[in-house]
Amino acid sequence: MALSLKGRTVLVIGRGSGIARAVVLAAQSEGANVVVAGRDREALRDAYDDPGIEVEEVDLNDDASIAALAERLGEIDHLVSTASARARGHLAELDRRAVLHSFDTKVVGPIMLAKYFSGRIAEGGSFTLFSGVAAFKPVVGYLGVAATNGAADFLTRSLALEMGPVRVNAISPGVIDTGIWDSLGEEEKKAYFENLRAANPARRIGTVDDISAAVLFAMTNASLTGVTLRVDGGEPLT
C-alpha cells in the first residue's frame, strides 16, 4: 500500500545541497511539511530560502542536541538522515579520529536519533538512513567508508526490529554526481565517470533524483522495512 506524504511532517537531516536537498524538494513536491536540520542553521536557511521549509539545528555527534531537537519538534511522520563523514584513505593513511568520526556520524548518530525520536514517529511513519556502495564492493582506499556503510546496512535491520511498527530502511547509493567529485578536476572526473558508466550494468552515473525517488519509495511503501535499497547502477556486480 502506498502512503501519501501530503500534510505529513518529514524531517531531513543533512546539508542544503546534493542528496539531502533533492530529498527535501521531492518530499515538498509531494505535499509534505518539511523540516531540515543540520549543524549550521544559518547555512541551511540561506540554502533553502523558502518560508515553507522549517529550519532547525542538530549535531548528530551530540546527544543533547538530538534530544533537544526531538523535544522541540514533538511528533513527526518520517525521519531521513543523510549525514556522513567519510574516512577515506589507504590503510597506512587512516586516522583513528577520522574513522571514529565517520562511525559516530553515520552509525551512532542514527542510533541516537532512533532513541530520542522513539515514540515520536506517528503511525505509518518511517526512518530512512544511508549506507553506500562501498559496503557491497570493497575498493582499496575506502576501508573506513566500507566499514561504516556496512555497519549502517546492518543497523537498518536491527532498528527495524526495535522500532516496529515504525518502518526502518536504508538507501545505498553508488557513485552519484553531486559535485563532490569536482575536486578531481574536470578531466579526471570525466574519465572516472566514463569508466564507471562503461562498466556498470545500468550504463549510467546516478543522479540525486534517483536517490530521492528511492527515499520517497521507502517512506511511502507500507510493507517495506529492514531493507537496504541499493541504487548503484549494478556497480557491485562488476
pLDDT single digits (tens) 172-187: 999 998 877 777 788 8
pLDDT of residue 101: 96
Distance of CA 84 to the CA centre of its chain: 8
- Report the predicted TM-score, pTM, of the whole model to 2 decimal places: 0.94
> Which residues have CB under 8 Å from 60's CB, separation 6+?
13, 66, 81, 83, 104, 105, 108, 109, 110, 112, 113
pLDDT of residue 1: 67
Residues of the chain predicted below pLDDT 50? none
